[in-house]
Structure 1
Amino acid sequence: MGEDRDDTLQPEQLEAYFALTEAVSLLQHAVDQQLRAEGDLTYIQFQLLARLSDAEGRLTMTDLADGVVYSRSGLTYQAALLEKAGLITRTPSVDDERATLVTITDAGRARLARVLPGHVRVGQEMLFAPLTPDDLHHLRDIMTRVRDHMRSRPPRSAAPRRSRRAPSGAPGTPAATETG
């Protein structure tokens, strides 16, 4: 706690931060519109289908939650919607009784294939069109470094669960113990 640290952002940092968050919001909005219009999918549903497709079709719910940085409960809800639509199946794992395996179906692969060209088009038009090859190289390197730094702390879905035995504020409970 005795560290001297500056909790303010410098003007250049603020400009970079707000430019990044605005660009991400604009890109996210365009992607959301495209996915809903062409595939009746939310962005998180698209991410789940894409991750399952990349993983050759099968992952645990925890692996999916960690990969898309989404809460376990939110992922369960989204998976139920995808399962109801016939785009995935969920089955208990034979290797770990606590795990649920998620598998993309042929219909899920078809839906992903249907929306992917438009998804790529939005990325090309919104993100990559104003960049030179050198810009792209630098952006990739910078964003990879930033992502890796952010990923060095496990996503909430991967963090160890805390015990709920002692009342809040009791010694040794998260409310009474500062971690960090």
Structure 2
Amino acid sequence: MSDADALHPAQLGTYFALMEAVSLLQHAVEQQLRAEGDLSYVQFQLLAHLADARQLTMTELADGVVYSRSGLTYQAGLLEKAGLVTRGPSPDDERATLVTITEGGLALVGRVLPGHIEVVRRLLFNPLTDEDLHDLGDIMTRVRDHMRAEPPRSAAPRKPRK
């Protein structure tokens, strides 16, 4: 690898700090969600998206939570078995499956959300000043938008099997 291909020390340090912070935050959030709601982080993301919209297609959910189609189908099946969502055909598009959050799913989100907010506030926001929060929000929005400029995973062609 040539020097042109390598990250310079500031980039490498920033990358590792970001990845470690994300891992630490995600671990703490997952512990809280398991303890208070017996949910995985992905299941919470699905329910939180549905709590806001009430009903989404599987494709909209996959794009919103950045998760594989097969993994999403499996997670939606677990949530359906637990009575937290229902799945059915879309009246507008016979190829689409609609996922709807149930009253039980809404209640579970309402039960775990206060603890989730507490963990996020304590670990992510408490060490930041108002200016830091603005700067971080601006930076992460630009990074996210840059990454999302690529076609969504649900629209990407599947790789042929060898």
* Shared fold (TM-score, shorter chain, > 0.5): yes
Structure 1, residues 42-80: CA drift from partner, whole Å, max 9, x if none? 00000000101111x100001100110000000000000
- For residues 102-117 of structure 1, the aligned pairs below 5 Å read 102-117=99-114
CA distance in 2: counterparts of 1:81 and 1:121, whole angstroms: 26
Identity of aligned residues (%): 73
SS in 1 for 2:138: helix
Which region of structure 1 is more displaced relative to structure 2, 149-158 or 122-131? 149-158
Determine if the alignment matches structure 1 residue 154 to structure 2 residue 151. yes
The answer for the alignment partner of 1:83 in structure 2 is 80
Structure 1 gaps of 5+ residues are 169-180
Residue of structure 2 aligned with 1:96, choices 93, 96, 104? 93
Q: Determine whether 1:63 maps to 2:43.
A: no
* Structure with greater helix percent: 2
Cα distance in structure 1, aligned partners of 2:4 and 2:64: 32
List runs of 5+ in structure 2 lacking aligned partners: none
| Structure of larger gyration radius | 1
- Cα RMSD over matched residues? 1.6
* TM-score, scaled to structure 2: 0.95
Give the whole-Å Cα distance in 2 for the aligned partners of 1:38 and 1:7.
Answer: 45
Per-residue deviation, 1:160: 3.5
For 1:114 and 1:43, locate their aligned partners in 2 and report how far apart those are by CA, in whole Å: 15
TM-score by length of 1: 0.85
Please state how far the C-alpha of 1:161 moved relative to its aligned partner. Answer: 4.3
